[in-house]
Structure 1
Amino acid sequence: MGRTWPYLLVLLSCGCDPFPREAQGSAARARDTLRVGLSHDPPYVDVATGDAPHGAEVRVIEAFAAARGAKIEWVTEGHEALMEALLDHRLHMVAGGHSARSPWDGVAWSRSVRIDAGPGHPVERRWALPPGENAWQLEVDRYLHAQRAPE
């Protein structure tokens, strides 16, 4: 039994890291301000009018930020530039144009969110999230799960 204790202590200390782990700390960096990339995709995301972004997905993101007590810094560029910024961990999420068939590899995806595309026409959308940011993805997914209406 005397030789077992050192091994047991090493084994137990391995479990002391925070879980879920994050490579770049997105959840911590998003405490006060969310950097959200938006790709023009009406009626879900509309950034073409020169006014503040609006649309069904924008409203869900605004509600998510409000629930966290965070401000939003909207970033509007071409879709490819936004996805590259996300891969470089310069954005917390990208919205607009993402369905279950989105072709981007290497990014993480939120759980689906049901968005009304008109009376009686809900569609499933999802947001691109930075890869390897498990705590951040868990926060986003928990919020979306809590908002999901019963089917």
Structure 2
Amino acid sequence: MVRPVLLLLCLCLAACGQYPRDTHDSSIRARDAMRVGLSHDPPYVVATSNAAPSGPEVALIQAFADAHDLRVEWVIGGHEALMDDLLAHRLHMVAGGHTAQSPWTDVSWSRKFLVFDAARRIALPPGENAWQLEVDRWLHAQRRPLP
């Protein structure tokens, strides 16, 4: 009786594959270029068309990219359009413009982190579980997240 149960268990485990995984391959697509939407939200994100983006959230995202050997492609735009692009999986994350009352319930959110004593978070595409875990683990390792 034990052998059939063990065999069934082994077959079930083999069928599971690699978890977590991304439904739209965000982790894999980020290797070509990590597309990050930025909405002008000083002092956290300074994003204008005539200068390179800056601010602590921009620096945090660049540090994440550097740690993972990813090239960042900054996409500057209005918050609503950027969030629509995130939902359509055309962006890997969106920073700036988020408030505690954000109406965007369909996106995923990074774990919270502190910037200037304010709790902040980054919008991530929904269903990209491996990508979410990669971002959250890195944020946690920075000792910046909230408990």
TM-score, structure 2 length as denominator? 0.89
**Match in the other structure for 1:13:** 14
What is the root-mean-square deviation in Å for CA atoms of aligned residues? 2.1
* Pair 1:46–1:26, CA change in 2 (3 A): same
Q: Distance in 1 between matches of 2:145 and 2:41?
A: 26
- Number of corresponding residues: 145
Deviations 1:99-127 (A, max 9, x none): 443220110000011112xxxxx111000
Deviations 1:65-109 (A, max 9, x none): 111111110001111110010000000000002244322011000
**Match in the other structure for 1:42:** 42
- Larger deviation: 46-55 or 128-137? 46-55
Q: Distance in 2 between matches of 1:30 and 1:81?
A: 20
Among residues 128, 131, 136, which one is paired with 2:126 in the alignment? 131
TM-score, structure 1 length as denominator? 0.86
Q: AA paired with 1:113?
A: F
How much identity, in percent, do the aligned residues show? 58
**Match in the other structure for 1:141:** 136
Q: What's the secondary structure of 2:43's corresponding residue?
A: coil
Q: What's the secondary structure of 2:19's corresponding residue?
A: coil
Q: Distance in 1 between matches of 2:39 and 2:76?
A: 6
**Match in the other structure for 1:53:** 53
- After superposition, residues 55-70 of structure 1 pair within 5 angstroms as 55-70=55-70
Q: Distance in 2 between matches of 1:19 and 1:147?
A: 24
Q: Distance in 1 between matches of 2:96 and 2:102?
A: 11
Q: AA paired with 1:112?
A: K
Contact persistence 2:45–2:96 (CA under 8 A) = yes
**Match in the other structure for 2:94:** 94
Deviations 1:37-64 (A, max 9, x none): 0000000111126110001111101111
Query: Which 5+ residue runs of structure 1 have no aligned equivalent?
Result: 117-121
